[in-house]
Amino acid sequence: MSWTRGTLGDEWPVQTIIAVNVVFYLLSLLMTGRHDLSLNPLGFLSPDQRSLLLLGATGTIPIDQFGRTWSLLSANYLHGGLLHIIFNLMALRQIAPWVSHEYGTSRMFVIYTMGGVCGYYVSYLAGIPFTIGASAAVCALIGSLLYYGRSRGGTYGAMVFREVWGWTVGLLLFGFIVPGINNWAHGGGIAGGMLFGWLLGYSERRRETPLHRYLALACGVATIGVLAWATLGAAVIRFVR
């Protein structure tokens, strides 16, 4: 199994994450039925909130009212519109290979998964009622690069930190200017990424070990289980009842 042999430099985990995001976006559109086909770019091809709730949106409503704690993970694979998923997946496609190069693919996936959960947990604690998107997990990858650049130091480390810090400032400014952006999830994701970057270590100081690969495998199994559970439950409610 490639998870236990080491996957540094492999592209398939990033491609798989992207594919799963696309599949769940299409599934949410299928469950919605009628769609906004207007020229409004923010509302174009947007799933409705009921479909997103059934498929695993998170926040105080899903968790407190329906007991869906597992939605802290599933929400990272749902999106509210065409532009939403395009922007998030473009950022993921740019950042994830960089994190894989510095940390190894297994650690990248652990950071992506657990950092996303951290981001949405912070969002939940802040009282955000309903939220979705891969941006919390993408911000976790950004946080891991911030930690890497600061920890490594030197010319290259300073360059990494400076570039990624510029992204972070731009992201926060964008979040305060544009309504509807979940800054709590972004900030929590960045903090989670820094934390897991520190806990797991990066390749120049600590090689990937079987423990890292088994942690990545556990994250993969948890993700598959949660998304399968959400899909089954949504299908039963939407198409059977």
CATH code of 40's domain: 1.20.1540.10
Question: What pTM did the predictor assign?
Answer: 0.90
The answer to whether 226 and 56 have CB atoms below 8 angstroms apart is yes
Domain assignment present for residue 2? The answer is: no
98-141 residue pLDDT tens: 999 999 999 999 999 999 999 999 999 999 999 999 999 999 99
Structure tokens at 187: 């900030």
Query: Hey, how many other C-beta atoms are within 10 angstroms of the C-beta on 34?
Result: 6
- 220: CB partners within 8 A, 6+ apart: 3, 109
- 18: CB partners within 8 A, 6+ apart: 89, 92, 93
Domain assignment present for residue 108? The answer is: yes
Cα-based torsion angle of the residue sequence 128, 84, 55, 126 in order, rounded to the nearest 10 degrees: -10
Task: Dump the DSSP string for 34-95.
Answer: S---SS-TTTTTPPPHHHHHHHT-BSHIIIIIH--TTHHHHGGG--SSHHHHHHHHHHHHHH
Mean per-residue pLDDT, 179-197: 94
Least confident of 13-17, 164-168, 186-190, 225-229: 164-168
Residue 90 clears pLDDT 80, i.e. is over it: yes
Helices (H), the chain: 2-5, 12-32, 49-55, 60, 66, 71-74, 82-103, 105-125, 135-152, 154-177, 183-200, 210-235
Domain assignment present for residue 80? The answer is: yes
Above pLDDT 90, what percent of the chain? 76
Q: Scanning the structure block, which residue is given the tokens 């994701």?
A: 189
176: containing domain: 8-240
Displacement of CA 20 from its chain's centroid (Å): 11
Domain assignment present for residue 37? The answer is: yes
Domain assignment present for residue 1? The answer is: no
Domain assignment present for residue 168? The answer is: yes
What total of structural domains would you count in the chain?
1
Domain assignment present for residue 3? The answer is: no
pLDDT of residue 2: 36
Distance between CA atoms of 156 and 158, rounded to whole angstroms? 5
